[in-house]
Structure 1
Amino acid sequence: MKGEKKVEGLGARLGSELLCAALASAVRDAAARWGCALEEVGEAIADVVEGDVASMIGAVMGAAAEGRKGEVQDREKGGAWDGYLSDEARRAHGVHFTPDAVAQRLVGLLDDLATPGPIVDPACGAGALLLAADRRWPRRALVGVERDPLLAMVAALRLLDARRGREHAGVRIVVGDGLAPLPDALDGRVAAVVMNPPYVPEKGHGEALAAVLRAHPRFEDVRGTRADLLYYFLARSVEMLAPAGQAAWLTPPHWLRADGACRLRAWLLKRGAMERFAWCEARGVFDATPGQEVLLSAFRRGEALREPRWRAEVILDGTQGDASAGWQKVQPQSLGEARWSPRADAKVLGWGARRKRQGRPLGELVRDFQGVVSGADRVTRRHERNFGGEYGWEVGAPIFLSESAHPPERWEPLLPYVRPVLRSGRLEAGRTYETEVAHAWMLYLDGEVDAAHLPAVEAVLGPYRPILEARREVRLGKMPWYRLHWPRDARAMRTPKLVVPRRAKHPCFALDLSGAVVSSDCTFLVAPDHVQDTRRYLRALMAELNSEETERYLRVFGKRKGELLEFYSSPLRELPVVGWPAVE
């Protein structure tokens, strides 16, 4: 797998025997290159790694002396340190990969660095970004922070190896929390921060992120309705900087427009200025997100010293090329208090402002809902793994949702509860579903069932009861084990409604008059109670929402995930609908 590994978890150490063996192999190679004993390499590592790592160094040196196999190919390219954790471990701890070409490109966003002081990476992993900084500023002091001791030792060895035989201001790798203050009162004296912060979203990690906030309560200032761990790391990097110091960040781009990052964006603008934005495809950076974009950005503490610029389609071939090629001006009004749109030119920004003045927010015209979330559509490999395969479930077997042409035969005892479902992948833009169309089938159990039906519920869902009882709301005693997790408003789904995929390349609003259930990958919209002719109302609205103007507006001012537009939450509710009072 290509790429330099970068890890920052929420507390667990990620080291493994494989990584230890690979590091031992690297120590032996370094001893051969340096023409010294293994002990000298170990002492050099111990001199620059700060933290309780004596036992870990001892284990690595013991493995090196025994000559254990653990070769790492293409280490000089940052090409294989990422291969020593499972995919599950990487996902659980916010692991990302920083190929050498990307590291060089990120460092290239900074200017000549007139500010004195060290260069810091507060989530340094195996040191890819510090190595790139060393190539550009070979004499600067380099400081890395890494929670995992083995990775800290890898970073130390690689930097010592790169700097051997030349003068420099030092290398320090601190084993610890990247959100904690730097040693020796370095905060406020750092010339530059280069960082690929951990990506741990709040969804599914709420308790862990709450613990982070308890440990670092000052980051309440940047926490919105939701917060990813990377928001705290962005703020932390700014805290470190000296006046006129710079930070270069490799992140997903969602924080530019996310509602939960509104306070972060305002916080950043109060303390400095964004100077560079560059987008590239994620498949050239992170293996886990093909087809999406990543953002390389540069921030300066205090007033901007360069005109803010942006560009897309960054070439990641490891060469710097012409740093000015393709750069375009960022309009100041695109970085306001609301969402940022740095790629919008003055003409587009003016057009968007006119539509907002002339139109009405969609949220005033309809009520929006996410589709039904069952909490267990079907048996997954995760279920099989969590329960050890002891129940004999077949992966893919339907629990609440079946995508077969007809309802499964075993659901027959519960046919009164079986409903047709509309799914995102099969919706057709502009279509009216007047009669029952089933993209899938759902057991729509939205509450307590009649006592007479309980034996049928047990017969149909009983084999999967361990899966259903493991759901949070069931464990908390808030709902019966057989209920859908979030059944939504059944009455609203039976009324005429617009249905749209929550993510799609183009607007794909359809009108459902059949009363079908809407799946969780869709949003549905219903007319306000005061509207008398809801069908006419929604048909007219569907035509406007599927228009080219709507798509253009959302591409610039809405939210996207890669090429996919997002059709839910604030971006959808704030969408201006022009000329609507005449229709209503």
Structure 2
Amino acid sequence: MTASAAFVRRQTLEAVPSKKSGDVLSDAEIQTRKRTGAHYTPPELASFVADQIVAYASDAESPLSVLDPAIGDGALMEALALRLRNVNATGFDTDAIALAASTKRLRRIVSPDRLDLRQGDFPSLCLQSRGTDLFAREQVGPFDLIIANPPYVRTQVMGAARSQGIADAFQLSGRVDLYFSFLVCIASVLRSGGIAGVIVSNRFMTTRSGEEVRRRLLQEFDVLHVWDFGDTKLFEAAVLPAVLILRKKTRNGSAHATPRMSAIYTTDQTAETHAATVFQALQGAGAIEVNGGTYLIRHGTLEHGDSVKGVWRLGTEAGDSWLRTVQRHTFCTFGDIGKVRVGVKSTADKIFVRSDWHLMPPQTLPELLRPLMTHHHGRRYRADMSVKSTQILYPHESNDGRKKAVDLSKYPNAAAYLGEHRAQLEKRRYVIEAGREWFELWVPQNPNAWKLPKLVFPDISEKPIFWLDLEGAVVNGDCYWIAAQDTSNQDLLWLALGVGNSSFIEEFYDHLFHNKLYAGRRRFMTQYVEQFPVPNPSEKSSREIVRCAKTLHLEPNERVGASLQARIDTLVREAFGLGREKAPR
């Protein structure tokens, strides 16, 4: 076994709870599912994926070799085998109990001599089969069809070391989620022209961490159709799923039809008709009522711009025309004004961040306390710092433009306070191993930058919430911030403030990224906000946006605010050449 294969196997070979969809899980089982990524496929979704595969594989010759690399309870393989009948079925799983259940299930429809289910970790077996040791190699594939719901484990749950190890093993850049390795391996064992139907999290389509996977998918496959199931809650976990229907590229590289994309998300629009299930709703378009909820169904083409690493989005003729109009009227982007940065991260907030510092005796109160802005303070245009006044002990300073830890001997109260917690702080081995002092914040950012005027916004919110900080507060890690590179022209920040809080930016976000969580919440991450457009600041409408934004910052009055906000919404559309035109849905 190769070293990289051993690493992947060691990191993924864990038993998982074998429960059917809909069963109630204990707390321990929930934690195990988070750790291992085992979320079994609902029968309706299994049938949908199987139908899509069969539709594209209708001309394939029988018998067909079929693989499920994470077979679980066997629902996906069963759905596909029922539609094809004459198959040689192969499956892998790390859980012996799940394998026993899937074996019993599949033997009803697949003869034993055509059923090969093995306990093992699929990615590590793929790495072995690509190794140079002929005696250690176990041949995997090639397969005519692959149907899969790979384990979904986020980087935050796996841990940085495990994530980086998987990335190194599969030549992926950065920290990756576990299912990325399955996507790479699927490409290596699917025959030329073979079809794969894979259930994944839709995050990879729009996040920076998914860039390399998007590139690899477009390099290895013809993407036939992407089905984004958005916030339909098909799974118990807070995962927004997508289904990818892929064809392995042929050697001659013959061109195929433009890839299609369909999406279904909750909407506040009035339903035009109703459907029994989300799968039935996907056969139509527009606002459709399903089980008491209303969903917007859209169909179009898969667009990723000029780069194979570009964000994947649903394109339509009307929507792309709207976007081109915006681009023609774009002077710069938020990222051009200044780098979008995340706030500070201490990794020990109970020690560094408190709202009760004032209760300490004055003679022992630590020095180095600074006001801290969190998402709790977030309001449009101006933060409300009266809400749970919070301060952070910030042990960093700048020396000749470079950040460094302060000399604690100059701050006796801070030194005494941190000394009381030294044992706990030293448990953050990654801080010390990075050559840092034991009392430092993990992500302190530039100490000199806090004094600059800066645009601040929360990572997660239903509506865009941008405010301007002129007080020099430190920004917490649940928010992002932008300080202008050109400090001589602050009006660009004010203009961005107005644009960021406008109804236009909601439409722009949903059109270009559409990374919504449950309950309609959006993620305002660096890779999204840095692309937000800013109109020409010399235009009359832009100057009026700046004036209105400054007024709202000075007078956060509800009555005045509603009127001025409506004015800003109109002005922003005018500045981008849209008039009253909204982004087509």
Q: Give the 3 Å change call, closer, same or farther, for CA 411–127 of structure 1 in structure 2.
A: farther
- Following the alignment from structure 2 to structure 1, what is the Cα–Cα distance between the partners of residues 146 and 525? 35
- Following the alignment from structure 1 to structure 2, what is the Cα–Cα distance between the partners of residues 442 and 340? 36
SS at 1:111 equivalent: helix
- Other-structure match for 2:353: 401
1:484 aligned onto 2:415: no
Correspondence for 2:49 among 106, 118, 122: 106
Amino acid at match of 1:425: H
- Following the alignment from structure 1 to structure 2, what is the Cα–Cα distance between the partners of residues 306 and 495? 47
Spell out the pairing of 1:311-350 with structure 2 (5 A cutoff): 311-312=263-264, 321=280, 324-326=283-285, 329-331=299-301, 333-334=303-304, 337=307, 338-350=309-321
- Other-structure match for 1:171: 115
Unpaired runs of 5+ residues, structure 1, are 1-7, 20-71, 379-398
- Following the alignment from structure 2 to structure 1, what is the Cα–Cα distance between the partners of residues 359 and 43? 51
- Following the alignment from structure 1 to structure 2, what is the Cα–Cα distance between the partners of residues 9 and 85? 23
SS at 2:76 equivalent: helix
- Following the alignment from structure 2 to structure 1, what is the Cα–Cα distance between the partners of residues 497 and 281? 46
- Following the alignment from structure 1 to structure 2, what is the Cα–Cα distance between the partners of residues 124 and 461? 50
Unpaired runs of 5+ residues, structure 2, are 1-7, 130-136, 250-254, 267-273, 286-296, 397-404, 544-585
1:431 aligned onto 2:382: yes
User: How much does 1:122 deviate?
Assistant: 0.8
User: How much does 1:427 deviate?
Assistant: 0.8
- Other-structure match for 2:560: none
Deviations 1:202-255, CA, capped at 9 Å, x for gaps: 4553322443355x4xx32xx234432322211222332233322112111111
Q: Give the 3 Å change call, closer, same or farther, for CA 265–229 of structure 1 in structure 2.
A: same
Tell whether the 8 Å contact from 1:104 to 1:132 is kept in structure 2 after alignment.
yes
1:205 aligned onto 2:159: yes
Amino acid at match of 2:106: L
Q: Give the 3 Å change call, closer, same or farther, for CA 85–293 of structure 1 in structure 2.
A: same
1:94 aligned onto 2:94: no
- Other-structure match for 2:467: 510
SS at 1:416 equivalent: coil
Tell whether the 8 Å contact from 1:494 to 1:515 is kept in structure 2 after alignment.
yes
SS at 2:228 equivalent: strand
Tell whether the 8 Å contact from 1:510 to 1:542 is kept in structure 2 after alignment.
yes
Tell whether the 8 Å contact from 1:432 to 1:513 is kept in structure 2 after alignment.
no
Correspondence for 1:576 among 533, 542, 547: 533
User: How much does 1:84 deviate?
Assistant: 9.9
1:252 aligned onto 2:211: no
- Following the alignment from structure 1 to structure 2, what is the Cα–Cα distance between the partners of residues 371 and 229? 27
Question: Mean alpha-carbon deviation: is it higher for 495-504 or for 469-478?
Answer: 469-478
Deviations 1:8-37, CA, capped at 9 Å, x for gaps: 975354338xx7xxxxxxxxxxxxxxxxxx
Question: Mean alpha-carbon deviation: is it higher for 275-284 or for 511-520?
Answer: 275-284
SS at 1:142 equivalent: strand
- Other-structure match for 1:157: 104
Amino acid at match of 2:310: R
Deviations 1:372-408, CA, capped at 9 Å, x for gaps: 1111112xxxxxxxxxxxxxxxxxxxx211245x644
Deviations 1:29-53, CA, capped at 9 Å, x for gaps: xxxxxxxxxxxxxxxxxxxxxxxxx
1:526 aligned onto 2:483: yes
Spell out the pairing of 1:341-420 with structure 2 (5 A cutoff): 341-359=312-330, 360-378=332-350, 399-403=351-355, 407-409=358-360, 413-420=364-371
- Following the alignment from structure 1 to structure 2, what is the Cα–Cα distance between the partners of residues 335 and 533? 32
Amino acid at match of 2:378: L
- Other-structure match for 1:23: none
User: How much does 1:129 deviate?
Assistant: 1.7
- Other-structure match for 1:268: 217
Q: Give the 3 Å change call, closer, same or farther, for CA 134–550 of structure 1 in structure 2.
A: same
- Following the alignment from structure 1 to structure 2, what is the Cα–Cα distance between the partners of residues 440 and 542? 24
- Other-structure match for 2:497: 542
Amino acid at match of 1:325: G
Deviations 1:425-450, CA, capped at 9 Å, x for gaps: 331112267x9886422222222344
Spell out the pairing of 1:283-302 with structure 2 (5 A cutoff): 284-289=233-238, 293-302=240-249
- Following the alignment from structure 1 to structure 2, what is the Cα–Cα distance between the partners of residues 84 and 422? 34
User: How much does 1:121 deviate?
Assistant: 0.9
- Following the alignment from structure 1 to structure 2, what is the Cα–Cα distance between the partners of residues 439 and 84? 34
Tell whether the 8 Å contact from 2:12 to 2:121 is kept in structure 1 after alignment.
no
Q: Using structure 1 for the length normalisation, give the TM-score.
A: 0.73
Correspondence for 1:448 among 399, 403, 406: 406
Correspondence for 1:465 among 407, 419, 422: 422
User: How much does 1:459 deviate?
Assistant: 4.4
- Following the alignment from structure 1 to structure 2, what is the Cα–Cα distance between the partners of residues 451 and 422? 28
- Following the alignment from structure 1 to structure 2, what is the Cα–Cα distance between the partners of residues 422 and 323? 43
1:187 aligned onto 2:141: yes
- Following the alignment from structure 1 to structure 2, what is the Cα–Cα distance between the partners of residues 10 and 102? 30
1:196 aligned onto 2:149: yes
Q: CA RMSD in A?
A: 3.6
- Following the alignment from structure 2 to structure 1, what is the Cα–Cα distance between the partners of residues 162 and 353? 31
SS at 2:440 equivalent: coil
Amino acid at match of 1:90: R
SS at 1:103 equivalent: helix
User: How much does 1:169 deviate?
Assistant: 6.7
- Following the alignment from structure 1 to structure 2, what is the Cα–Cα distance between the partners of residues 269 and 509? 36
Q: Using structure 2 for the length normalisation, give the TM-score.
A: 0.73
Deviations 1:458-500, CA, capped at 9 Å, x for gaps: 5434443332111134432623322222221222112211111
- Following the alignment from structure 2 to structure 1, what is the Cα–Cα distance between the partners of residues 140 and 186? 12
SS at 1:173 equivalent: strand
